[in-house]
Chains A and B, each alone.
Chain A
Amino acid sequence: MVFPASMAQQNHGPQMLTANRLRDGDVLYRKSDGWVLVLADGDVFADQAGADAALAEAQAEMARNEFVAPYLFEVRVVNGVTQPVKEREIIRAAGPTVRADLGKQSGMVNV
């Protein structure tokens, strides 16, 4: 498994931890020692040490076969609202920008 570790090394701002659910590929966000489906519900790691620890913990849990490809990504928190810095993660958290009826933005989140 290739983890985009370089992403974590480059980040200095707050970060979140994400992965995809094994059985259906849905996007997950880390919350305490589990996962949630909505970015706004996930944990934000203010410092690199906290983010790295969460990633290491997730990697150790991969043997449970519930999720794949965990990695960290940078976010910014504006007026209490968490938003990814990069377009890729904004789209991943919402769904295709060309189909508002698809993905998490559709309000039909699979649990």
Chain B
Amino acid sequence: MSEVAPNMYRYDEFDARFVAERTAQFRVQVERRLKGELTEDQFKPLRLMNGLYLQLHAYMLRVAVPYGTISSRQIRMLAYIARKYDKGYGHFTTRQNIQYNWPKLVDVPDILSDLASVEMHAIQTSGNCIRNVTADHFAGASADEIEDPRPLAEIIRQWSSLHPEFVFLPRKFKIAVSGAPQDRAALKYHDMAVEIVRNAQGRTGYKVLVGGGMGRTPYIGQVLGEFVEKQDILAFLEAAMRVYNEQGRRDNIYKARIKILTHALGIEEMRRQVLREFAEIKQGGNLQLPQAELDRITAYFAPPAFDTGLPDTIADAGKDFVNWVKTNVHPHRAPGYTIATITLKTPGQVPGDATSEQMEAIADLMDTYSVGEVRVTHEQNLVLPHVRKKDLPAIYAKLKELDFACANAGLITDIIACPGLDYCDLANARSIPIAQSIALKFADLDRQHEIGELKIKISGCINACGHHHAGHIGILGVDKKGVEFYQLQLGGSGAEDASIGEIMGPGFTEHEIAGAVERVVNAYIKTRKPGERFLDTYRRLGMAPFKDAAYEKEAA
């Protein structure tokens, strides 16, 4: 299979040298730790700066996938690493990254070296820094996009990497970017987010949001800057970071995120302070984004040379295929092309897991049908961004062989689940088996399609890596005297109509929770009006009828 090089950012000399030097440095740090020259207290911050955690069963390495874009060469390397150093699989996360659950400390320097050979690393995937920047997974492809957000994401990545002011923030800091009115990047749940918008004069610029977040204190982000001129974006972001760095709390880890500061100050005061900093930075004139630099970075992400004259219709290749097209295929900007979502969620599967063999087969699909490129989504799926409509039947047939052809994108079995207590040292309860039991209960495809769009998101602790606050149905695992219980939340959304789910009441046991979800869904089916999604019906009726249904059997 000949490898196709997609249009994406390529390391320049500085990037390559920096990653190589950092990898070599960590090799020495690991050697010193193993020899006893560094204690665990001394070594722990160093390993975390390189994405290496210690979890329940073993170390865990989190590899950055900047704005979710991977080339076929890179995913083949990810597959190779899984096979050579791990247990033959990787886990795609809600931060568009990939995690390995079983690496040995002694192997990690070699893993980082292999990653560096394909321009990847694990820097900024942990610690109180600006983390890996995430983006709309349809970037550069979707029909509704104003502009590709990845050039800005890359500029933010370069600006924030090892920025001397931001290497010791009060807490971790997550930035997302999108260039489309439909929010597929959960912008309003990020510390800061940038949305590309067009003003009344038809000029594009940036709307900046601040103070969103999940965790134990969820907040929806608020507008900090309604329209920031392109050349000013880094100055504006830097001004916000300065206010946070100066005033963000450092006395309490749970109060240290920018969402807490934004809430404490109020958005008006936050904006006033940021604008004051912004004016000072602008006066200095050092942080204007030169158009030439923006153009240089943008050129890396130039659209591929799309074929012209392609048929703009999709063949009927059977009922299963038609269902898959209905849910997993999305409008593309180029005639004859489309975007295909590969859900890693066939009922029974571990959400987000892919084996080395599956990754390699997807790499072949990328090279054959999607200009050598795939995207990781925050919903733990993969996306082929540039696919000819005429190739869809062949792609679908290959995905069926991989058991990744379920027609469930955005449906009730397309569940986000964090690793939970099966892997995670912080978790209070398991998430994956709950996702599996719900998915198997609703495995019937006709039923899933009848239910329509319904997003279930499951977290195994209050840190909310499974985005439960943003689930139409959210599930939070808790520990009650050593026993796992699961709280239901309804009405959350991570999209442009973002909202925080409302807690229903007492939790359900591991064995009860899937049944409770089913009763909630049945209540929706009974009461929905034509065209209403679950979320719409919930917003119209409120919690009461769903709560009655959920506890019906438990009370009997």
Contact = CB atoms under 8 A, between A and B. Distances in A.
B299 interface: no
Contacts, number: 80
Interface in A59-111: 62-65, 68-69, 85-88, 91-92, 95-99, 102-103
Given A22-B33, A98-B436, A1 B58 contact: no
A15 to B, nearest CB: 14
Give the size category of B's interface with A: 20 to 34
Q: Would you call the interface of chain A mostly helix, strand, loop, or mixed? A: loop
Contacts of A26: 57-58
A24 interface: yes
A22 B33 CA distance: 9
Nearest to B107: A24
B106 A24 contact: yes
B54 A91 contact: no
A91 B59 contact: no
B447 interface: no
A25 interface: yes
B57 A63 contact: no
Interface in B32-74: 33-36, 39-41, 54-59
A48 interface: no
B350 interface: yes
B484 A97 contact: no
A1 B432 CA distance: 30
Contacts of B55: 25
Interface string B103-129: 011100000000000000000000000
B433 interface: yes
A27 interface: yes
User: Among the interface residues A27, A64, A68, A98, which one has the most CB atoms of the partner chain B within 10 A?
Assistant: A98
Nearest to B423: A96
Given A1-B41, A96-B57, A24 B35 contact: no
Contacts of B33: 22, 65
Interface in B401-427: 421-423, 427
Contact of A68 (B40, B106, B430): B40
Contacts of B429: 87
B256 to A, nearest CB: 17
A64 B57 contact: no
B482 interface: yes
A23 B106 contact: yes
B1 interface: no
Given A98-B350, A98-B436, A102-B87, A27 B54 contact: no
Contacts of B422: 91, 96-99
B483 interface: yes
A53 B479 CA distance: 29
Interface string A38-68: 0000000000000000000000001111001
A103 B479 CA distance: 23
Contacts of A102: 57, 87, 102
Contact of B56 (A23, A91, A99): A91
A75 to B, nearest CB: 12
Contacts of B36: 63-65
Nearest to A69: B54
B302 to A, nearest CB: 42
B41 A92 contact: no
Contact of A87 (B39, B57, B58, B482): B482
B40 A62 contact: yes
B54 A24 contact: no
B59 A25 contact: yes
Report, nearest first, the 8 A-B pairs whose CB atoms are least far apart.
Answer: A24-B104, A25-B58, A96-B422, A65-B36, A25-B59, A98-B432, A86-B482, A68-B40
Interface of A: 1, 20, 22-27, 62-65, 68-69, 85-88, 91-92, 95-99, 102-103
Given A25-B55, A87-B429, A87-B430, 9 more contacts: A1-B40, A24-B105, A25-B58, A25-B59, A62-B40, A65-B35, A69-B54, A98-B422, A103-B57
Interface of B: 33-36, 39-41, 54-59, 87, 102, 104-106, 350, 421-423, 427, 429-430, 432-433, 436, 479, 482-484
22 contacts: A20-B58, A22-B105, A23-B104, A24-B105, A25-B54, A25-B55, A25-B59, A26-B58, A27-B56, A63-B36, A68-B40, A85-B482, A87-B429, A87-B430, A88-B421, A91-B421, A92-B56, A96-B422, A96-B432, A98-B430, A99-B350, A102-B102
